[in-house]
Each structure stands twice: as C-alpha cells, then as structure tokens.
C-alpha cells in the first residue's frame, strides 16, 4: 500500500472515530458500533497488489527495443558511411571533371576571343575600305563625267580646227584618261576582292572555332 492509500485509510479511521464519538453522544451502544466498524472497515480499505512480473515484462520489453534500435542503428550507420564515401568519391570525380573541362575550354575560349577581336578589326578595316571604295567610285564618276564633257567639247572644237596637232594631243590625253580610269577600276576591283577574301577567311575561322568548341 502506498502513502496516499495509507493517508486515505488514516483519514477514514479519523472520520470513523469522529462518527463513533458522535454515536456515543447520541446514545448508541459503543460495543455494537465498534463491531460494525470492524466489520465494514476491511471492505473500505483499498489494497494495491504490486505485480513484479508486469514491471519485469516492461523492463525486458524496453531492453529488447533498445537492442533492436542499437542493431538497426549499427546497420544504418554502416550504410550511411558507405553512402557518404560514395558521395565523396562522386563529388571528387565531378570536381576533377569540371577542372578538366575548364582547362580544356580555357584555350578554346581564348582563341575564340582572339578571333572575335580579329573579326572586329577586320570589320573596321572593311568599313574603312568600303568608305575608300565609295570615295574612289565617286571620284571615278566625276572624272568620267569630266572626261565626257571635255571629249564633247574637244570634238566640237576639233571639227572647227584646221590644225590636227592639238586634236591629236587631246585624243592622246583622252586615251590616257581612259587608261587611268581603267586602272582605277582595276584598283577598286582588287580592293573589293581583298575585302571579300578577308571576310570569307574570318567567317571560316569563326565557324571552325565554334565547331571545335561544340564537338568538345
């Protein structure tokens, strides 16, 4: 019986004693009252039976659970250690591969940037050359127009001139002008061809660089 039950029994006895005193004062037979109290008191007391086997079963069950947890924990720890090692090896491989790819692409990226710089330079030269070609074309048009105008004037004057010497010289000058115009046309054609070849070479170099990068 625990302390709480003992306290309850003690309180009950006190109450019974008080009731007994009250009964005596009321004129009840004390002997009969005590016999009645002794008869009823055992049925009023609470007896707690300690079952040691139940606590032992709980203890054994807890011990069994602990062993099962330790076993599972050991197996799980082994699995987690293996998993950690595999993840570590995989991360090392990924890092190594990343460094390799970066090293391989570094030279290609540098070459690509160099090609881009070269392309920008060639484009600038092409714009400058195109401007020069346009200037030469305008100059050629002006010279041709002046030549046609002078030719017309000379032919008109030549028809009125008796001496053919100046006319011959004028025709020779016109021939030289035509030759210079032809040479200028050739120069313009050479410049245009050079620009076209440079543009094609640059385009081929860039395309080849991009193909090499994509293939890697």
pLDDT digits (tens, 9 = 90+) for 165-186: 666 777 787 888 888 878 888 8
pLDDT digits (tens, 9 = 90+) for 35-46: 777 777 766 655
Nearest residue to 111 (alpha-carbon basis) of 17, 199, 191, 216? 216
pLDDT digits (tens, 9 = 90+) for 123-175: 787 777 777 777 777 887 887 888 788 777 777 766 665 556 666 777 787 88
Distances (CA, A) of 36 to 18, 28, 46, 47, 167: 15, 12, 18, 20, 173
């Amino acid at each position: 019986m625990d302390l709480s039950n003992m306290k309850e029994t003690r309180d009950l006895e006190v109450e019974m004693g008080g009731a007994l005193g009250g009964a005596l004062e009321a004129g009840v037979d004390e002997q009969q009252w005590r016999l009645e109290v002794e008869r009823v008191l055992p049925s009023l007391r609470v007896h707690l039976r300690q079952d040691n086997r139940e606590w032992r079963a709980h203890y054994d069950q807890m011990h069994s659970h602990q062993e099962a947890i330790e076993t599972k924990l050991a197996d799980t720890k082994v699995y987690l250690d293996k998993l950690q090692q595999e993840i570590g090896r995989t991360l090392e491989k990924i890092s190594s591969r990343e460094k390799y790819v970066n090293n391989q692409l570094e030279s290609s990226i540098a070459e690509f940037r160099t090609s881009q710089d070269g392309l920008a330079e060639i484009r600038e030269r092409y714009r400058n050359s195109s401007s020069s070609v346009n200037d030469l074309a305008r100059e050629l048009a002006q010279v041709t127009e002046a030549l046609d105008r002078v030719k017309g004037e000379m032919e008109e004057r030549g028809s009125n001139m008796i001496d053919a010497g100046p006319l011959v010289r004028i025709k020779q000058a016109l021939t030289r002008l035509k030759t210079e115009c032809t040479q200028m046309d050739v120069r313009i054609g050479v410049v245009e061809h050079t620009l076209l070849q440079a543009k094609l070479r640059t385009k081929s170099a860039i395309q080849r660089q991009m193909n090499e990068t994509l293939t890697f």
